[in-house]
Amino acid sequence: MTSMRPVLLLACASAAFLLCGCGGGYDNVAPVSGTVTLDGNPAANVMVTFTPEGGGVASSGITDSKGKYELIYIDAKGAQIGRHRVAVTTISGMKAPEALPSEIRSDDPRYAEMMNQDYAAQSAAQSKADPIPAKYNTQTELMKDVVKGSNEINLELTTDGAK
């Protein structure tokens, strides 16, 4: 019976490893959070989207009342490591799905619904009313790097004519 003990211990350890995982996620994803300001004021209720320059799955997050955001990548917090094109868009005028959770995964059908809802009409209406200049959203010029480890990426936006 004592010869079965090491096999049983190995089986239990293997099962625990598989059930618990090995560190929580993707090797090429790092946590990203920060604050978005517009002309020095917190930008509340804006969507921040990081799209990998070389292609891949985008990460996004929505700012709170203090302009703070945290990116979500599929089912993990963060963004792929590498260079990203960053877009910031006001979502207050967009029709969001009912009961939108604060953390919505990009593979969740509600995410696609939110992104595709009558987008052309909303985009046209929003671009007229959006206080965030096009150079930060529809014609974004923002590029940011995500590196291994925690990333605090603050976005200090200015309107045209601001100093």
The DSSP call for residue 23 is S
Instruction: Tell me the average pLDDT across 71-99.
Output: 81
User: Of 127 and 58, which is predicted with more confidence?
Assistant: 58
Is residue 131 domain-resident? yes
Residue 11: inside a domain, yes or no? no
Segment 131-136 shows an average pLDDT of: 92
Region 17-30: what's the mean pLDDT?
60
Could you tell me how many residues make up the chain?
A: 163
Consecutive H or E run containing 128: helix 119-129
Give a yes or no: residue 20 inside a domain. Answer: no
Residue 5 domain-assigned (yes or no):
no
106 falls within a domain: yes
Least confident window among 17-31, 47-61, 142-156? 17-31
Q: Range of 132's domain?
A: 26-157
Residue with tokens 């891949």: 56
Which CATH number do you get for residue 126?
2.60.40.1120
pLDDT of residue 144: 98
Per-residue pLDDT at 123:
53
What share of the chain in percent tops pLDDT 70? 60
pTM for the structure as a whole? 0.66
How many distinct structural domains can be found in the chain? 1
Does residue 93 fall inside a structural domain?
Answer: yes
Is residue 13 one of the residues assigned to a domain? no
Q: How far apart are CA 9 and CA 24, in angstroms?
A: 24
CA distance 140 to 150: 24
